[in-house]
Structure 1
Amino acid sequence: MDEHRDKWRKFYEKALNRPHSKRTEQAVKLNMSSQKVAVDCGCGTGSDIEYLNSQGYLVHGFDLNPDSIAICRERFEGNSQVYLYESSFDRFNYPKSGAVIANASLFFVEKVHFQTTWKKITSCLEIGGVFVGDFMGKNDSWSSHYNQAITSLTKEDIAALFTNFDIIQLQERDEDGTTMLGESKHWHIYSVVAIKRA
């Protein structure tokens, strides 16, 4: 097993006990569309899927990492309201949705695919639907020193992505910290909650 995959496996082992994101709760509360369908982009071990499903959502979860999908298939075996896919952001076929969740995942989209991916995400959301997710800022140590392509954006870049949305929350984290595996890094993350208006 290569070192990169081994790191992800260790991450998933720790993430299995992690609760769903509070922003995922916001997506459910704020969704004013007629769709009780959600997409979890980069679904990891499925904590957000589990919450969305408990709220009566049909959930489509995808992740490029086969270990993630194997964990989720075991976790949601026999659940007809959860669909799982081993896929990248740019290849995924996004269904019409009332919520798109992209917690700590969108920055793994390669820059060359980012605009196309973003168009797919915004197109799948119904008016009144909610996007919640994270974008990587330019000061993040991973934006220039990571073992795969990362898309980092400025605050202005991010604002330009949401011209057809009402931004409910935009939080910036720009500080030294550690990863879930205890490695030191500088975090620069923008976390967004937004409702599609047109």
Structure 2
Amino acid sequence: MDENTEIWRQYYEKALTRPHSKRTELAVQLNKSNLKVATDCGCGTGSDIQYLEQQGFRVHGFDINPDSVAICRDRFGSKSLVDIAETSFELFDYPKSGVVIANSSLFFADPNQFVTTWGNIKLSIEVGGVFAGDFMGFKDSWANNYRSPTTPLSESEVKGLFSDFEIVRFFERDEKAKTSLGRMKHWHTYSVVAVKPI
């Protein structure tokens, strides 16, 4: 098993106990699209999927990591409203959604295809629907020479992605802090909640 696989496995063990993101609750409240469909991009162990499914959403979750997908299929195999796929940002077929979640996942989208990937995500959001997620900034420790390619963006580039959305919340994190596995790193991220105007 390579180091990468082992690190993700440790991360998922920790993540299984994590509650859903408060931001996901906000996204559900803001959804005025009348479409109770959600997409969770890079769904990890499925804490947000669980919450969304409990709110009556049909949830499409995907992750490129087979461990994550196996955990989610175990957790949600009996839930008819949940569909889990093992695939990448680039290959996923985005359904029309009222809520699209990308918590700490778009960092790892292929930088060479990011424009197309973002276009697909944006197109999938129904009018009145909501995007909630994070983007990596250039000062992040993982922005350069990380063990897999990352897509760092500037503040103006992130805001530019939402030029035809209404940004409800925008938060920049720029600090040294531990990862969920207890390693120190510099975090530089932009968190966005935005609504596609009706």
Match runs of 1:148-159 below 5 Å:
148-159=148-159
For 1:97, the equivalent position in structure 2 comes to: 97
Where do 5+ consecutive residues of structure 2 fail to align?
Answer: none
For 1:63, the equivalent position in structure 2 comes to: 63
For 2:188, the equivalent position in structure 1 comes to: 188
Conservation of the 8 A alpha-carbon contact between 2:90 and 2:110: no
For 1:45, the equivalent position in structure 2 comes to: 45
Inter-partner Cα distance in structure 1 for 2:70 and 2:121:
24
* Residue 107 of structure 1: how far off its partner (Å): 1.1
Conservation of the 8 A alpha-carbon contact between 2:14 and 2:180: yes
* Residue 115 of structure 1: how far off its partner (Å): 0.6
- 1:42-86 deviation line (CA, Å, top 9, x unaligned): 000000000000001000000000000000000012111000000
TM-score by length of 1: 0.99
What amino acid does structure 1 have at the position aligned with 2:112? V
* Residue 152 of structure 1: how far off its partner (Å): 0.2
**CA RMSD for the aligned pairs?**
0.7
- 1:15-51 deviation line (CA, Å, top 9, x unaligned): 0000000000011000000210000000000000000
For 1:123, the equivalent position in structure 2 comes to: 123
Conservation of the 8 A alpha-carbon contact between 2:140 and 2:188: yes
* Residue 145 of structure 1: how far off its partner (Å): 3.2
- 1:121-176 deviation line (CA, Å, top 9, x unaligned): 00000110000000000100100131010000000001110011000000000000
Tell me the matched-pair count: 198
Residue 33 of structure 1 aligns to a residue in which SS?
Answer: coil
1:9 aligns with 2:9: yes
- Identity over aligned residues, as a percent? 59
TM-score by length of 2: 0.99
**Which 4+ residue blocks in structure 1 deviate beyond 3 angstroms?**
none
Inter-partner Cα distance in structure 2 for 1:126 and 1:40:
15
Inter-partner Cα distance in structure 1 for 2:77 and 2:151:
33
Match runs of 1:107-122 below 5 Å:
107-122=107-122
- 1:65-117 deviation line (CA, Å, top 9, x unaligned): 00000000000121110000000001000001000000000010011110101
What amino acid does structure 2 have at the position aligned with 1:47? S
Inter-partner Cα distance in structure 2 for 1:185 and 1:62:
26
Where do 5+ consecutive residues of structure 1 fail to align?
Answer: none
Residue 185 of structure 2 aligns to a residue in which SS?
Answer: strand
Inter-partner Cα distance in structure 2 for 1:173 and 1:118:
22
